[in-house]
Amino acid sequence: MTHLNLSTKFNERLFDMDFMNFGHSISLIHHHLEEVEDELTGWLKQPLNITAEEVDEIHNLSDEIKENADVLLVIGIGGSYLGAKAVQEALAPNFTKKENGIEVLFVGHNLSGSYMKRLVESLHNRDFYVNVISKSGTTLETSIAFRVLRHYSIERYGQNAKNRIIVTTDSEKGLLKEIALAQGYRMLDIPSNIGGRYSLLTPVGLLPISVAGINITEILRGACQAVIDLNEEDLEKNEAYRYAVLRYELYSRGYQVELLASFEPCLSYIHEWWKQLFGESEGKEKKGLFPASVNYSTDLHSLGQYVQEGNPLLFETFLSFKHLSEDCHLPFNELDDDQLNYLSHRSFNDINHISEQGTVLAHFEGGVPIIQIELERLDAFHIGYLLYFFMKACAISAYLQDVNPFDQPGVEAYKTKIRDLLNEKTIVS
């Protein structure tokens, strides 16, 4: 069974490319990833390596939180929150009371005093747990949010506060691990050989996702299938490798921006997670595509004009699912005063799908190269598959550009400047 289909729409006159020209490079990268031991490649086999005991521990902790709290506060930034947020937004029902989970709120991903104050105020009549996530334990946004919520937890629960704080951090070292050991907080491990933006399929993402009522067993099952399918060295058979090569070829031909597009608003945080994954993995040494995203049809009414006729610096990657679990049909109106009866035999999903087809055709005819990624259905299995697909493709894509996919040296530059300014005794305004 094919779990993911990749297709393209290019001007054949301009894009006469032979995938087999990349066969040797892909083979070298494939074997490097399989054999390297000194880099952060633990995510490659994580879906297969996570044990039943580890999954049971997450399920048991999730059940405890759901039984004793109204809300889980997840403190983290970047890879420590985007993946869980992405899966929750994609799969948890909108506008409805959760049947199998509780509310999961995210904090520590900004420095807004207003956001923090209002979040704490919203907790006054609700019971909560705190899950702080940081590999190093020194990330500014996460650390100061944790200080506030630790203090508030003690105000609310006294000595029992420690039973409501779960620390997810590096399995071997770090400031947060030291705090957890000293205070008696329960800990979940982030494997030392997995970096933050590749950590979604570890307790980093799995605990919040489970608390939100989403089936993490199915998430992992889909990811496990992707591990198997996408370990094929043959470029003709490996869709992740083909996607990486397509991106690299377009980049080599002068395209500077990849625009990830979808027609389902619930995928907006999949876009955000994808942007961090590719942005931090590729954006080094003055190289790399700029990862951007749009949510259609909303953004057709703001950015559609630019995409259609603006500076030809971008290509689009459309993400879609064949089958969605919910839909809404248009009713027939005897008056037809809105002149929409011609659509009364259609549903919103029908119209949305046709809108996607029309947009792809218009942008293609306008000269925009198009990559299409389609999965069978929007469910936990296929989301798990998709997330692993993007991680594998990202690593290959970065290596094709001859950059390390697993470090982010540029991040330290702004962290250092912020730290220096905060440490100054006097800041002149």
Tokens of 141: 């946004």
pLDDT, residue 189, reads 94
Annotated catalytic residue within 117, 173, 237, 415: 415
pLDDT, residue 10, reads 76
CATH class held by domain 4-37+221-400 = alpha beta
Residue 20: strand, helix, or coil: helix
- For the chain, what is the mean pLDDT? 92
Q: Using alpha carbons, select from 40, 356, 346 the residue that is nearest to residue 196.
A: 40
Q: Kindly report, as residue ranges, where domains of CATH 3.40.50.10490 are found in the chain.
A: 4-37+221-400, 42-214
Q: Using alpha carbons, select from 324, 300, 334, 410 the residue that is nearest to residue 374.
A: 324
**Is 178 considered catalytic here?**
no
CB atoms within 10 A of CB 156: 15
List, for residues 23-41, the tens digit of each pLDDT value: 899 999 999 998 876 678 9
List, for residues 61-112, the tens digit of each pLDDT value: 999 999 999 999 999 999 999 999 999 999 987 666 667 889 999 999 999 9
CATH class held by domain 42-214 = alpha beta
Q: Using alpha carbons, select from 159, 156, 96, 163 the residue that is nearest to residue 127.
A: 156
Please tell me the least confidently modeled range out of 32-41, 245-254, 268-277: 32-41
List, for residues 296-336, the tens digit of each pLDDT value: 999 999 999 999 999 999 999 999 999 999 999 999 999 99
Q: Which residue has the higher pLDDT, 413 or 79?
A: 79
d(CA 367, CA 348): 29
Reported as a pLDDT band with limits 50, 70 and 90, residue 418 is: confident
pLDDT, residue 429, reads 44
List, for residues 188-222, the tens digit of each pLDDT value: 999 999 999 999 999 999 999 999 999 999 999 99
Annotated catalytic residue within 280, 282, 316, 356: 280
pLDDT, residue 411, reads 77
pLDDT, residue 414, reads 80
pLDDT, residue 34, reads 86
pLDDT, residue 363, reads 96
Cβ atoms of 110 and 85 closer than 8 Å: no
Q: Is the pLDDT of residue 19 over 60?
A: yes
Q: Using alpha carbons, select from 87, 384, 392, 53 the residue that is nearest to residue 218.
A: 384
Tokens of 201: 């399929």
**Is 374 considered catalytic here?**
no
Strand-pair partners of 9: 370
Reported as a pLDDT band with limits 50, 70 and 90, residue 50 is: very high
Angle formed at CA 91 by CA 85 and CA 94, multiple of 5 degrees: 90
Measured in degrees and rounded to the nearest 5, phi and psi for residue 197 equal -75, -10
Largest CA distance in the chain: 73
d(CA 118, CA 425): 30
Beta strands in 82-219 (DSSP E): 103-107, 128-133, 165-170, 186-190
| Cis, bond preceding 297 (omega within 30 deg of 0) | yes
**265 half-sphere exposure, CB direction, 13 A CA radius:** 5
pLDDT, residue 72, reads 97
Reported as a pLDDT band with limits 50, 70 and 90, residue 347 is: very high
pTM score: 0.94
